[in-house]
Amino acid sequence: MSATPFEKPQGTVEVPHIEVDEETKEIIKEILSQMKDTVEVLFFTSNTCGNRDTNWCVPTEELLDLLADLAPPGKLIVKKMRYEENSDAFTKYRVEPQRVPIIYLLDGAIRYLGAPLGEEVRAFIETIVRISLGETKLRPKTKKGLEALINSGTDKRVEVMTVVTPSCPYCPYAVLMANMFAYDSKGKVISTTVEAYEEGDIADMYQVSAVPTVILRREDQDVGNVEFIGVPPESDLLKKVLDYSSVALQQ
């Protein structure tokens, strides 16, 4: 699939609230109605939103509250970790307070650095539903490869970092795939979604010129490598993940 050129926004844009019409709420409610098992979301925020120029913490919190309200009762639990009140949680989960808002699913196997707004809402909601159902929809060969990773005994996890923007129509496909790798690998793969406007230093570090940009990093590496620009084929992403973890792909 294609990639979208990445251009930095000009000036400061305040996004204090999300706006969702009733028709969209009904669509979201219908999607979330599929949920079976409870999904827990950890939301890291602060009173100052990391002293950012734009307070993305507010719309992110509003989105999570809306989804919890639209989901079947008790199926989506949002635990809010405010730095001023829960600094120990930031330390425990190794969350940098200046990067809030941050969202963790599966106790951190799936991470969002920045608000999952715009086009990313679709993949975020679909991720929640698939986790709840325990159905990733990955190909059998992919599942087999990730099972080999689980059984390899390696204690080094592989991070798949997907750099996105809210307006990118292709990014949700890359993010959803990486998230499902994290789920089916039982956390041996870490899926991190990075919102390029909010985490500009990360986008600059990897010289992101188009999104999605997919970066792979073994846990003992300080800096990862750009492996894909655009949505990677599932088989290619699996091969790279196994290469980074030094696990042979069985034919």
191 closest CA partner among 134, 237, 145, 246: 237
Determine, yes or no, domain membership for 1.
no
User: Position of tokens 């000036």?
Assistant: 11
Domain CATH for 195 = 3.40.30.80
Determine, yes or no, domain membership for 203.
yes
Determine, yes or no, domain membership for 33.
yes
For the chain, what is the domain count? 1
Determine, yes or no, domain membership for 29.
yes
Per the confidence metrics, is the pTM higher than 0.95?
A: no
Q: Which range of residues forms the domain containing residue 195?
A: 12-245
Residues 6 or more apart in contact with residue 30 via CB below 8 angstroms: none
Contact 112, 185 (CB under 8 A): no
Rounded Cα distance between 53 and 48, Å, is 10
Determine, yes or no, domain membership for 5.
no
Instruction: Name the token pair of 217.
Output: 């990093």
Type of residue at 234:
E
Distance from the Cα of residue 48 to its chain's centroid: 23
Determine, yes or no, domain membership for 28.
yes
Determine, yes or no, domain membership for 62.
yes
Per-residue pLDDT of the chain (251 residues; tens, 9 = 90+): 567 666 665 555 555 588 899 999 999 999 999 999 999 999 999 999 988 888 999 999 999 999 999 999 999 999 999 999 999 999 999 999 999 999 999 999 999 999 999 999 999 999 999 999 999 999 999 999 999 999 988 888 999 999 999 999 999 999 999 999 999 999 999 999 999 999 999 999 999 999 999 999 998 899 999 999 999 999 999 999 999 998 766 54
Determine, yes or no, domain membership for 30.
yes
